[in-house]
Amino acid sequence: MRTLIPFILFIMAAAPAAAQNAGLDARLRALEDKEQIAQVLIDYGRHLDSRNLAAYASLFAEDGEWVGGFGTVKGRANIQAFMEKNMGTGPNKAGNYHIMSNFATTVAGDTATAWSRWAFVVPGERGAAISQAGRYDDTLVREKGVWKFKRRTASNDTAPPAAPAQGR
Amino acid sequence: MRTLIPFILFIMAAAPAAAQNAGLDARLRALEDKEQIAQVLIDYGRHLDSRNLAAYASLFAEDGEWVGGFGTVKGRANIQAFMEKNMGTGPNKAGNYHIMSNFATTVAGDTATAWSRWAFVVPGERGAAISQAGRYDDTLVREKGVWKFKRRTASNDTAPPAAPAQGR
Amino acid sequence: MRTLIPFILFIMAAAPAAAQNAGLDARLRALEDKEQIAQVLIDYGRHLDSRNLAAYASLFAEDGEWVGGFGTVKGRANIQAFMEKNMGTGPNKAGNYHIMSNFATTVAGDTATAWSRWAFVVPGERGAAISQAGRYDDTLVREKGVWKFKRRTASNDTAPPAAPAQGR
């Protein structure tokens, strides 16, 4: 009988700590997921604006999809080629960029949805103008442990520009 | 005496783990609170801009208060009726929206203060304009486990528009 | 032999919990660091825009450095004096402010790098204009447990204004 006491104590001591840790781990993971997805939303604009279109395409899942003003394109490699065609491969001499804001993300296991706002800022002679603005509606997937766009839909709340393509 | 050893070991093993977990829990809660409050600040604009004024009003405490360009109104139901009157109940055909940014939040137990910036973006013929911009000063309260606005004060750093109401 | 059992159990019970806690602690710290640095990036604009230049300067390390349109200045006290000269010490009557966005932060121990976007919003007769916009490239250091700018470089993607200094 006496030899059972340590076992009972072991279970008493170890079980609650393990259960508590499991709870802490799940809560941490929820915050980490939101943080990591926020970074994907920010990197999308950062890599697009700096014309690092390989890094831009790497934010999409292998079979990820982009839907927006330029059309629809599916597959990471296709997305890169598509954006290179539409945005060019040279540096962004205009210095235009996207303000990303208002992230609303919902995670469910290894998939997530995100909603956010973009404003496309174009420097000019006197300060800058918001030449276009709209929304992103995203589904994301955890692929090999990293959050990727499964499908990004870029909607425009302003009239698209008549002349040179500016992307979003 | 020998039978005391397991008890002593139990305390040695369990107590530090429990204390550590309590520390981890408090740190996690601090991050979760900031994250949840940030979402309230974002949802405020999201629900206002999409004219989902029931969801908008649900962000306020039962006796929450809104102070801004339209006046002052207190109580969740009153806030919804007030905004329906001032913003209308139809869809937001203009596609205008708020960029929410620069969140500074301080949490103290079940209450919090937040400071942030808003810019009201209005799409036009050629791109978009920031028609108004200002600050929010908030007090929040944890009501039934959920962060709500106890009092939101929306200040305008631009001259209010002469003609149609555009809210903030 | 029997007396060894509790010791073995103690190690079995305590060691994994301690290891798990160490892992949780490191993950928490990673999130806390990002959160604290984000607050530094936000407070930079908040204190600058409210002309609280003592609080502004306190965001820099003792030997921190600021590089931007006004020139280069090193040392916390020098930064405060430099900004008081360039921005004035009176209230910000124009109500202009910085939208801070697109934070991308990488932490490595007690140092970090951050990249972000700024848009300088100036209220006018009819709404507001983005008079200038650009980027921040930062290195940060944890000084006495608090994240501080080691070096902030403010770049301008728009032409600087001809007349009154507006800072960033």
What DSSP element (H or E) covers A135?
Answer: strand A128-143
In this predicted structure, the answer to whether residue A16 has a pLDDT above a threshold of 90 is no
Structural tokens at position A75: 């597959």
Query: For A13, which DSSP code?
Result: H
Q: Please give the pLDDT value at position C168.
A: 52
In DSSP notation, C155-168 reads EESSPPPSSS----
Measured between beta carbons, the chain C residues lying within 8 angstroms of B133 are 97, 121, 123, 127-128
Tell me the three-class secondary structure of B122-138, residue by residue: EECCCCEEEEEEEEEEE
Measured between beta carbons, the chain C residues lying within 8 angstroms of A125 are 159
pTM, full prediction? 0.89
Chain A: residue whose CA lies nearest to B41 = A102
- Other CB atoms within 10 A of residue C114 CB: 22
Whether residues A43 and C158 touch (CB distance < 8 A) is answered with no
B4-49 and C4-49 helices, crossing angle to 10° = 30
Chain A: residue whose CA lies nearest to B33 = A31
Q: Is A39 helix (H, G, I), strand (E, B) or coil?
A: helix
Distance from CA of B103 to the nearest CA of C (A): 7
Lowest mean pLDDT among B103-107, B163-167, C39-43: B163-167
Q: Please give the pLDDT value at position A11.
A: 67
Structural tokens at position A79: 């997305």
What DSSP element (H or E) covers A139?
Answer: strand A128-143
C29, C49, C56, C78 from C85: Cα distances, Å: 38, 15, 14, 11
Chain A: residue whose CA lies nearest to B3 = A2
Q: Is B98 helix (H, G, I), strand (E, B) or coil?
A: strand
In this predicted structure, the answer to whether residue C160 has a pLDDT above a threshold of 80 is no
Handedness of CA A120, A34, B42, A106 (dihedral sign): positive
Give the whole-angstrom CA distance, residue C116 versus residue C121: 16
Whether residues A127 and C158 touch (CB distance < 8 A) is answered with yes
Note the helical H segments in C50-128.
53-57, 76-87
Whether residues C128 and B158 touch (CB distance < 8 A) is answered with yes
Burial classification of residue B91, based on how many CB atoms lie within 10 Å of its CB (0-12 exposed, 13-18 middle, 19 or more buried): exposed
Give the whole-angstrom CA distance, residue C75 versus residue C63: 4
Name the residue facing B17 among C21, C43, C130 (closest C-beta): C21
Structural tokens at position A6: 């340590």
Q: What is the pLDDT of residues A84-141, one digit of tens each?
A: 999 998 999 999 999 999 999 999 999 999 999 999 999 987 889 999 999 999 999 9
Contact B117, A102 (CB under 8 A): no
Name the residue facing A31 among B21, B31, B99 (closest C-beta): B31
* Closest to C146 measured CA to CA, from C76, C61, C77, C28: C61
**C33 residue type, one letter:** D
Distance from CA of A142 to the nearest CA of B (A): 21
Distance from CA of B67 to the nearest CA of C (A): 19
Please, which residues bridge with residue C60 across strands? Answer: C149
Q: Neighbours of B (≥3 Cβ pairs closer than 8 A)?
A: A, C
Q: What is the pLDDT of residues B39-57, one digit of tens each?
A: 999 999 999 999 999 999 9
Residue A9: left (phi > 0), alpha (psi -120 to 50), or beta? alpha
Q: Please give the pLDDT value at position B131.
A: 92
Give the whole-angstrom CA distance, residue C158 versus residue B85: 41
Chain B: residue whose CA lies nearest to C127 = B131
Distance from CA of B62 to the nearest CA of A (A): 24
Q: What is the pLDDT of residues A41-73, one digit of tens each?
A: 999 999 999 999 999 999 999 999 999 998 999
Chain B: residue whose CA lies nearest to C13 = B13
* Closest to A3 measured CA to CA, from B11, C6, B12: C6
Measured between beta carbons, the chain B residues lying within 8 angstroms of A107 are none
Q: From chain A, which residues contact C within 8 Å (Cβ)?
A: 3, 6-7, 9-10, 13-14, 17-18, 21, 24-25, 28, 31-32, 35, 39, 42-43, 45-46, 95-101, 121, 123-130
Name the residue facing A100 among C102, C131, C159 (closest C-beta): C102
In this predicted structure, the answer to whether residue B167 has a pLDDT above a threshold of 90 is no
Distance from CA of C63 to the nearest CA of A (A): 30
Name the residue facing B99 among C14, C99, C123 (closest C-beta): C99
Distance from CA of B80 to the nearest CA of C (A): 27
Contact B96, B124 (CB under 8 A): no
Q: Neighbours of C (≥3 Cβ pairs closer than 8 A)?
A: A, B
C4-49 and A4-49 helices, crossing angle to 10° = 30
C40, C50, C117, C126 from C45: Cα distances, Å: 9, 8, 11, 24
Note the helical H segments in chain B.
4-49, 53-57, 76-87
The two beta strands, C111-123 and C146-156, are unpaired
Structural tokens at position B20: 């550590």
Whether residues C102 and A46 touch (CB distance < 8 A) is answered with yes
Name the residue facing C31 among A18, A35, A129 (closest C-beta): A35
Q: What is the pLDDT of residues B4-34, one digit of tens each?
A: 776 676 666 666 777 778 899 999 999 999 9
Measured between beta carbons, the chain C residues lying within 8 angstroms of A45 are 102
User: CA angle, corner B107, sides to B102 and B112, nearest 5?
Assistant: 80
Backbone phi, psi, residue C11, to 5°: -65, -40
In this predicted structure, the answer to whether residue B152 has a pLDDT above a threshold of 50 is yes
Handedness of CA B100, A71, A132, C136 (dihedral sign): positive
Whether residues A131 and B130 touch (CB distance < 8 A) is answered with no
ipTM: 0.86
Please, which residues bridge with residue C74 across strands? Answer: C65
Q: What is the pLDDT of residues C31-77, one digit of tens each?
A: 999 999 999 999 999 999 999 999 999 999 999 999 999 899 999 99
Chain B: residue whose CA lies nearest to A105 = B39
Give the whole-angstrom CA distance, residue B121 versus residue B126: 13
Q: Please give the pLDDT value at position B33.
A: 98
What DSSP element (H or E) covers C152?
Answer: strand C146-156
Distance from CA of C27 to the nearest CA of B (A): 10
User: CA angle, corner A34, sides to B139 and A119, nearest 5?
Assistant: 75
Q: Please give the pLDDT value at position B126.
A: 80
